[in-house]
Amino acid sequence: MGKLKTQSLHKRNSDLAQSNRQLEVLSNGIFKAGELPTFAKKIKETNQFPLRPKKLEILQINVGYMCNQVCEHCHVDAGPDRKEIMTWETMEQCLDVIRNTGAHTLDLTGGAPEMNPNFRRFVEEASKAGIKDFIVRSNLTIIRANKKYHDLPDFFKKHNVHVVSSMPHWTRGKTDKQRGEGVFDMSIKALQELNERGYGMPDSDLKLDLVYNPSGAFLPGDQASMEKEFKTALLEDFGIQFHNLFAITNLPIARFLDYLIASENYEDYMYQLVDAYNPAAVENVMCTNTISISWDGYLFDCDFNQMLELPVASKIKHISEYNEDILNNRDIVISQHCYGCTAGAGSSCQGAVAEK
Helices (H), the chain: 19-27, 39-45, 88-100, 119-126, 141-145, 152-158, 172-179, 183-196, 223-238, 254-262, 266-275, 279-282, 303-307, 324-328
Strand 290-293, strand 299-300: pairing:
antiparallel
Q: Give me the sign of the Cα torsion angle 322, 324, 329, 333.
A: positive
User: Alpha-carbon distance 145 to 68, whole Å?
Assistant: 8
Between CA 126 and CA 23, with CA 250 as vertex, the angle to 5 degrees is 95
The CATH T-level fold of domain 9-341 is TIM Barrel (3.20.20)
- Length of the chain counted residue by residue: 356
Q: How far apart are the first and last CA of the chain?
A: 27
Q: How many CB atoms lie within 10 A of CB 93?
A: 19
User: Using CA atoms, how far apart are residues 97 and 79, in angstroms rounded to an integer?
Assistant: 29
Q: By the 8 A CB rule, do 196 and 143 touch?
A: no
Number of H helices, E strands in the chain: 14, 8
Q: What is the pLDDT of residue 163?
A: 98
- Identify the pLDDT of residue 271: 98
Is the Cβ–Cβ distance between 210 and 245 less than 8 Å?
yes
Sheet containing strand 299-300, strands side by side: 244-247, 208-212, 162-166, 133-138, 105-109, 58-62, 290-293, 299-300
- pLDDT by 10s per residue, the chain, length 356: 334 457 999 999 999 999 999 999 999 999 999 999 999 999 999 999 999 999 999 999 999 999 999 988 899 999 999 999 999 999 999 999 999 998 999 999 999 999 999 999 999 999 998 899 999 999 999 999 999 999 999 999 999 999 999 998 999 998 988 888 999 999 999 999 999 999 999 999 999 999 998 989 999 999 999 999 999 999 999 999 999 999 999 999 999 999 999 999 999 999 999 999 999 999 999 999 999 999 999 999 999 999 999 999 999 999 999 999 999 999 999 999 999 999 988 776 766 666 54
Pairing of strands 299-300, 244-247: unpaired
Q: Across-strand partners of 195?
A: none
